[in-house]
Chain A
Amino acid sequence: MKPTQQNHSVAEQLSLIRRIGYSIFPGMARQREKPRGYRHFFNTLILHFRPRAVPERTLRFTLTWGLGGMAVVLVFMLLGTGLLLKFAYEPFPGRAYDSILRLQNEVLFGQLIRNIHHWSANLLLVVVFLHFLRVFFTGAFHPPRQFNWIFGLGLFLTVLLSNFTGYLLPWDQLAYWAITICTGMLEYMPFVGAEVQHWIRSGREIGPATLSNFYAIHTAILPACIIILMAFHFWRVRKAGGLVMPRGPDEDAPSRGETVPTIPNLILREVVVALVLIAIIMAWSVFFNAPLEAKANPGLSPNPTKAPWYFMGFQEMLLHFHPLFALFVIPFLIMFALVSIPYIRYPERTAGVWFVSLKGRRMALVGAVAGTIATPIGILIDEYMIDFVAWVPGVPSAISNGVIPLAIILAGAWGFYSMTKRRYAATKEETVQMIFVFFVTAFVILTVTGIWFRGTAMKLAWP
């Protein structure tokens, strides 16, 4: 009884502000010889999310390039600016465009906020793609990180969908037609295409219901998904004992080595990356406005009408393959291959080594060069010389323009795979990596072609 009485009397002597303060941070009320400042509380808060100490080797910037941290910063910037935009934006076809104009012209810093949202969203795609490459090339998908690779792919998809659903919202010509052709693609899905398209568009054509669907998905469902997936993604990093341990090509798997306190070693580095990134985005957004074209006009398709840049690779494939293959068979194969990467049986695990080994580096280069040479040649040949539909008359174009070219490409890739495997006497990891590099390069080149080398009526042209 005695101590409580004492506390009671102490409490009575305190000012109201003090008592409120102690009620928020009970730890402060304890008498200490050296009073702790706000900093202590801040640090303990951080240590709820981060480990107390981290291996010194994983602090090296060239292990992660700060990409994961950048993605987090961008997500939070997008959430913040997105919340502000919600106050100004009206999700109705007749008013959406005007509300954007009003935001840009009349709201204090409205244009800047929209610019930041726009550029952060685009940069986020680039950053998560680079992060994906970094994780692959450092072998950070081996056990125990297998499933985190899947979480990462899920996050990549949600980020892609967020960009896509956000694209329609300004309701300008660019947005309207890009979404028209992207949702037009859904019709080619076997069996359920028309249903799914009807469902996503909320009607036969893009209209008010489509906009309100996209708005709800963009501003509520996807952000919630991203936050939940992010939490799992980080938790699995912690569970795996932190980042993958970097090592040289001929070093054995190292122990954790020396550890250093997270505060300030890791936190300081992260804050620096975050601040530099924020500064770059702010500066960029001051000088470059987010694009806004004329108000959407359903009667007039601009020439050329292009998908958003991150779908250019698929749009380019659409020009070469039957839609069923360009939009479903090939993306499905890509997704399947990516998901299976951590589950392939590798004779040895080389997590932490950049590009598997020295030989792996050479082979990755071979893959990149092969992709850089083969893809443009393939595009040119298909554009000017090959016409399977005319050559193989009497079969549906899904076969002549889908199965045949895909079979040729896969056969070529298989030949390339077995040839280099023999030539270099390579391990499975090295050859898988080479094929991965080959296809990533090919996809990047397809995207670049779609963005810069397609002019009016989608003919090949110089930029």
Chain B
Amino acid sequence: MKKEVKKQIKDQPESPRRKFLSKLWVALGVLALLELVGLVLTYLRPGKPRGVGDAGTIVEAGAIEKFPTNSVTAFVRGKFYLCRLEDGGFLAVSRKCTHLGCTVPWMAKEKKFACPCHGSAFDIHGEVTSPPAPRALDIYPVVVENNIVKVNTGRPIKRSEFRAEQVVYPT
């Protein structure tokens, strides 16, 4: 009995409407699947960074006089080094190695940033002196207002090499 019913259904010529409807079902299913995948992806995506305004990311480094020329001062909270070059210019250099993201310590004796992970080295300008790092350390915008040095840690600037116009001079 059951078999007969099945056979009957099979023998019926498929009407265009039935074909259309079953295709519609498949399309709906695919759509639902895509929605699900999209939803999962948005869950994995990072949330919007809180406090996007500059107020939260500007670090007041201190008065100009606090930084002798040819010195490097670490700012742990801001994750950068404030370098004062020999000519008195400032450069806020990221502490993140451009190779694979390790934290580079400043070697005061050898006057270089030496990455402990894969042996890259950078000079006081953040310029690569020894590979495998492919480009100079990122920098952050520096402004000098009323003799106070301020660094905007919210806006890292990628650069391939050191250029003179990256240095900020106190006026």
Contact = CB atoms under 8 A, between A and B. Distances in A.
B44 interface: yes
Given A202-B46, A209-B46, A319 B116 contact: no
A199 interface: yes
A64 interface: no
Contact of B102 (A181, A199, A397): A181
Given A198-B46, A199-B46, A305-B102, A397 B134 contact: yes
B65 to A, nearest CB: 26
A385 to B, nearest CB: 16
B45 A184 contact: no
Contacts of B99: 184, 323
Nearest to A457: B119
Contacts of B100: 180-181, 184-185, 318
Contacts of B131: 389, 397
Contacts of B159: none
Contacts of B132: 318-319, 323
B93 interface: no
Contact of B117 (A181, A202, A298, A397): A181
Given A199-B44, A323-B134, A300 B103 contact: yes
Given A199-B45, A203-B49, A180 B116 contact: no
Interface string B30-56: 000000000000001111010000000
B111 interface: no
Interface string B127-163: 0000110100000000000000000000000000000
Interface in A203-243: 203, 205, 209, 213
Nearest to B100: A184
Nearest to B41: A199
A457 B134 CA distance: 17
Interface in A281-311: 298-305
A256 interface: no
Query: In terms of DSSP, what is the predominant structure of the interface of chain B?
Result: loop
A458 interface: yes
A305 B117 contact: yes
Nearest to A221: B40
B135 to A, nearest CB: 10
Contact of B101 (A180, A202, A304, A458): A180
A183 interface: yes
Query: In terms of DSSP, what is the predominant structure of the interface of chain A?
Result: helix
A305 B97 CA distance: 13
Given A202-B45, A319-B132, A303 B101 contact: no
B115 interface: yes
A177 interface: yes
Nearest to A397: B134
Contacts of B95: 299
A362 interface: no
Nearest to A207: B46
Contacts of A209: 46-47
B114 interface: yes
B23 interface: no
A428 interface: no
Given A304-B116, A305-B117, A397-B134, A298 B103 contact: yes
Given A180-B100, A180-B102, A301 B47 contact: no
Contact of A299 (B101, B103, B114): B103
Interface in A302-331: 302-305, 318-319, 322-323
B164 interface: no
Nearest to B102: A301
Given A184-B99, A184-B101, A397-B134, A177 B44 contact: no
B75 to A, nearest CB: 10
Contacts of A205: 101
Contact of B46 (A180, A203, A299, A303): A203
A102 interface: no
A181 B102 CA distance: 7
Interface in B72-86: 76, 79
A105 to B, nearest CB: 30
> Taking each of B79, B95, B117, B134, which has the highest tally of chain A beta carbons within 10 Å of its own beta carbon?
B117
Contact of B116 (A185, A298, A299, A457): A457
A94 B134 CA distance: 33
A459 B103 contact: no
Contact of B119 (A183, A184, A458): A458
Nearest to A188: B134
A202 B46 CA distance: 4
Interface in B98-122: 99-105, 114-119
A404 B47 CA distance: 42
B10 to A, nearest CB: 27
Given A323-B134, A457-B114, A299 B76 contact: yes
9 contacts: A181-B101, A183-B101, A187-B101, A199-B46, A202-B44, A202-B46, A203-B49, A304-B116, A458-B118
Given A301-B104, A318-B132, A397-B134, 20 more contacts: A180-B100, A198-B46, A199-B44, A202-B46, A203-B49, A298-B103, A299-B76, A299-B95, A301-B105, A303-B116, A304-B116, A305-B117, A318-B100, A318-B118, A319-B132, A322-B134, A456-B116, A457-B116, A457-B119, A458-B117
